[in-house]
Amino acid sequence: NGAAFPKVRGSQSGQDSTRWHVVRKFLGLTSSHNIPVYLIDPLILGLVDKDIEQIRSSPDGPNPECKYFCAPRDFTTFALLDKTWKYEVGLFRTAEKMGFQWLKIINKDPRLDGMDDLSGMEIPLHYIFKLASHAIHLVVFYERSGNFLWHGPLRLKQHMDRKFVPFQKLHFGRYPGAYEKPELLLVSIDDLKVQIPKNPSSFLEEMSHSRFLECRYREARAFFQLYPDDTSHDAVEFRKKAKCLLHLAALTLNNLGVKFWLSSGTCLGWYRQCNVIPHSKDVDLGIFIRDYKADIIPAFQNAGLPLKHKFGKVEDSLELSFQGEGDVKLDIFFFYEEDDHIWNGGTQAKSGKKFKYLFPKFTLCWTEFVELKVHVPCETLQYVEANYGPEWKVPVKTWDWKSSPFNVQDNGVWPIDEWDNVIQIY
Amino acid sequence: MDEWKPNPAVKAHKKRSWYLAWKYKLMNQRALRKLCQTGAVLFLLVTVIVNIKLILDTRRAAYEEEEESAQDYDDEMLNVEAPRHPVNNKKVLDVEVYSSRSKVYVAVDGTTVLEDEAREQGRGIHVIVLNQATGHVMAKRVFDTYSPHEDEAMVLFLNMVARGRILIFTIKDEGSFHLKETAKNVLKSLGSQVAPFLSWRDMWTFVGKKGGEVYGEKHAKSPALSTWGDPVLLKTEVHLTSVEDAECHWPDTELNRRRKRFCSKVEGYGSVCSCKDPTPIEFNPDPLKDNKVFDVPVAVIAGNRPNYLYRMLRSLLSAQGVNPQMITVFIDGYYEEPMDVVELFGLSGIQHTPISIKNARVSQHYKASLTATFNLFPDAKFAVVLEEDLDISVDFFSFLSQSIHLLEEDESLYCISAWNDQGYEHTAEDPSLLYRVETMPGLGWVLRKSLYKDELEPKWPTPEKLWDWDMWMRMPEQRKGRECIIPDISRSYHFGIVGLNMNGYFHEAYFKKHKFNTVPNVQLKNVESLRKDNYETEIHRLLGEAEVLDHSKNPCEDSFVPDTEGKVYVMFIRMEQEADFTTWTQLAKCLHIWDLDVRGNHKGLWRLFRKKNHFLVVGVPASPYSSKKPSSVTPIYMEPPAKEEGAVAVPAVAAAEQT
Q: Where are the domains of chain B?
A: 92-245, 298-527, 531-628
d(CA B443, CA B391): 10
How large is the average pLDDT for residues B188-206? 96
d(CA B458, CA A234): 11
Whole-Å CA distances, A199 to A63, A203, A419, B65, B354: 21, 6, 47, 64, 48
Which pLDDT tens digit goes with each residue over B564-611? 999 999 999 999 999 999 999 999 999 999 988 899 999 999 999 999
A121/B378 CB distance under 8 A? no
0.90 surpassed by complex ipTM = no
Question: What residues does CATH 3.30.460 cover in chain A?
Answer: 14-210
Which of A115, A229, A232 best probes binding to B when mutated, by most B CB atoms within 10 angstroms? A115
How large is the average pLDDT for residues A149-176? 92
Which pLDDT tens digit goes with each residue over A105-138? 999 898 887 666 787 778 999 999 999 889 999 9
3-state secondary structure of B519: coil
pLDDT of residue B245: 80
How large is the average pLDDT for residues B198-211? 96
A115/B459 CB distance under 8 A? no
The mean predicted confidence, pLDDT, of chain B is 85
A117 interfacial to chain B (CB closer than 8 Å) = yes
pLDDT of residue B252: 87
Cis check: omega of the bond before B621, within 30 degrees of 0: yes
3-state secondary structure of B196: helix
Find the CB nearest A116 among B349, B351, B368.
B368
A231 interfacial to chain B (CB closer than 8 Å) = yes
Say if residue B59 is exposed, middle or buried (CB neighbours under 10 Å; 0-12, 13-18, 19+). Answer: exposed
The residues near B172 (Cβ < 8 Å, ≥ 6 apart) are B99, B100, B101, B102, B103, B104, B116, B122, B123, B124, B126, B142
Torsion angles phi and psi, residue B117, rounded to 5: -125, 20
d(CA A144, CA B349): 19
CATH 3.90.550.10 applies to domain B298-527: yes
Lowest mean per-residue pLDDT among A40-44, A111-115, B469-473: A111-115
Pairing of strands A423-425, A282-288: unpaired
Which pLDDT tens digit goes with each residue over A214-252? 999 989 989 998 999 888 889 999 999 999 999 999 999
Is residue B81 pLDDT above 80, yes or no? no
d(CA A120, CA A42): 33
B348/A120 CB distance under 8 A? yes
Find the CB nearest B458 among A86, A109, A236.
A236
Q: Is B395 a catalytic residue?
A: no
Chain A partners within 8 Å of B349 (Cβ): 120-121
Which pLDDT tens digit goes with each residue over B211-251? 989 999 999 999 999 999 999 999 999 999 988 888 899 99
A88 interfacial to chain B (CB closer than 8 Å) = yes
Query: What CATH fold (topology level) applies to the domain A14-210?
Result: Beta Polymerase; domain 2 (3.30.460)
Chain-centre distance for alpha carbon B166 = 30
B43 within 8 A of B36, measured Cβ to Cβ = no
pLDDT of residue B7: 43
How many angstroms separate the CA of residue B478 from the nearest CA in chain A?
Answer: 11
Whole-Å CA distances, B655 to A66, B102, B458, B658: 74, 28, 28, 8
